Structure 1
Amino acid sequence: MRWLGPLLALLLVAGCAELAKSPDESRPAPGNKPAPALGVPKMRSDTLKYLASRNLKPQPTRPLNVRSRCTNKDGGGTRTRLNLLVKEAEVRTFDAEIAMKGRGSCRFRLADFDQVERLPQALLRNKRDPGCLVRMWEEGPRVTIAFNSCPQSCERDAFDYLWPIMVEAKSGRCF
C-alpha cells in the first residue's frame, strides 16, 4: 500500500507530459485543412476579396477646377441653388442656398469664409465660427461640397438634414 501513493503521483505527472510528434503526424492528411493557430483568428472578408480582384488606383491629387451655376429640386422637396467658381484650387465664387421643405434653409456665402487649404481639398473656414468648415473635393467626374458643424448658417433644425451638394464637373449640373 505504501507504493500506491507514489504510483498515482507518477501516473498523474506522466499523463500531463507531451510526447514528441513524428514528422508525419505534424502534417495534415490530404484533403484536411490545418486548424488555424490559436490566438490569431482567421477572418474572411468578402469585401476585401472583391476589391483584391479589381484594379483600383488612388485618386490623383490635383488642383480643383469647377464652374457651376445651377438649381435643383429633388423628390423630397429640397431646393438647391449654387453659384460656384474654383480655379486652380482657389475658391473665387461660392454662394449656396439649400431650402428643405418643412425644415428651414441654409445659406453659405464666400464673404463669410476664409480659404485655409487648397490641396488635397479646398477648405473654407467660417470667419465667425472656426468650427464651421466647407470642404470641396473631386471624385472622378463629380465634385462634392460638404458642410461640417455649421448650424448657425441654417434656420431651425435644417442643418440636421443637410446633405453634401454634388456637382458634375464637366457640365456644372448639380444634384
Structure 2
Amino acid sequence: MKNTRLPPWLLAAALTALTACTVTLPPSPPPKARAPEAPAAPAATARERATPIPPHDIDLSGNCQRTEEDGFREDAHLRVASNDVRVLTWTLWVGRHGSCHFDLTEFRQTRKTPHIELRALDDSGCTLMVWQDPRRITLAHAHCERHCTPGIYEQAWPVLFDPRSGACAEIR
C-alpha cells in the first residue's frame, strides 16, 4: 500500500469545514455565593404554610339534619363534654347510591387533644376525629370504608356543627 499525503490546500479546506461546524460555548459564569435568606414576613409565612388549629375544650350538644340539593343527606347527633364523647350517631347518604353509618358503641375514644379521636373496635383502621376551629366543629372520618355501602366512600364528606347553636354549620 502506498502512503499518500493530502495536498496542503485539501487539508486546509477540510480543517476550515470542520471549524465552521464547531460551536464554541462561552465559559459558564462562576457560581454565585448564596446570600443568607431574610426571614419572611409573618403574613407571607401564614399564606405559605397553614398553622395548626389550637386545641380547644369542646363542649357540644349537636344535632345536624339536612338534605342538600344534590341528594347528599346527613343525620348526626354528637354530645361532647370537656372533650369526652358521650353520644355519637351519624348516618350520611350519598344521594341514592348508599350510606355510611357510625355509632359510638362501635368505637373507643383514644385521644382528647389536640383533637378528639375515636378508633373502631373491629380493627378496621376506621378513625373518627372531632376538632374545633373558630367557625365550626368538624366530625370527620378516615379509612372507614367498611362502615359504608361499597363504592361511595370517596364521596362521604364530614359533618360540620355550629359551635354556638349545635345545629348544622353553614358551609359558605
Cα deviation, residue 58, structure 1: 6.5
Counterpart residue number, 1:86: 80
Counterpart residue number, 2:44: 49
TM-score (structure 2 length as normaliser) = 0.68
Say if 2:54 and 2:114, in contact at 8 Å, map to a contact too: no
Cα deviation, residue 60, structure 1: 3.6
Q: What is the identity, as a one-letter code, of the residue corresponding to 1:148?
A: A
Counterpart residue number, 1:68: 62
Cα deviation, residue 103, structure 1: 2.1
Identity %: 26
Distance 1:59 1:147 in 2: 18
Which structure has the bigger radius of gyration?
2
Which ranges of structure 2 fall in alignment gaps of 5 or more residues?
1-26
Distance 1:97 1:51 in 2: 36
Query: In the TM superposition, what are the counterparts of 1:3-152 in structure 2 within 5 Å?
Result: 37=32, 49=44, 51=46, 59-152=53-146
Which ranges of structure 1 fall in alignment gaps of 5 or more residues?
1-15, 17-35
Cα deviation, residue 141, structure 1: 2.8
Give the alignment's Cα RMSD to 1 decimal: 2.9
Runs of 4+ deviating beyond 4 Å: 36-40, 56-59
1:166 aligns with 2:155: no
Residues 104-154 of structure 1, C-alpha deviations (whole Å, 9 max, x = no match)? 000000000000001111100000025110000001130011100000000
User: Bigger CA drift: 138-147 or 105-114?
Assistant: 138-147
Give 3-state SS (helix, strand or coil) of 2:128's partner.
Answer: strand
Distance 2:51 2:154 in 1: 34
Say if 2:73 and 2:93, in contact at 8 Å, map to a contact too: yes
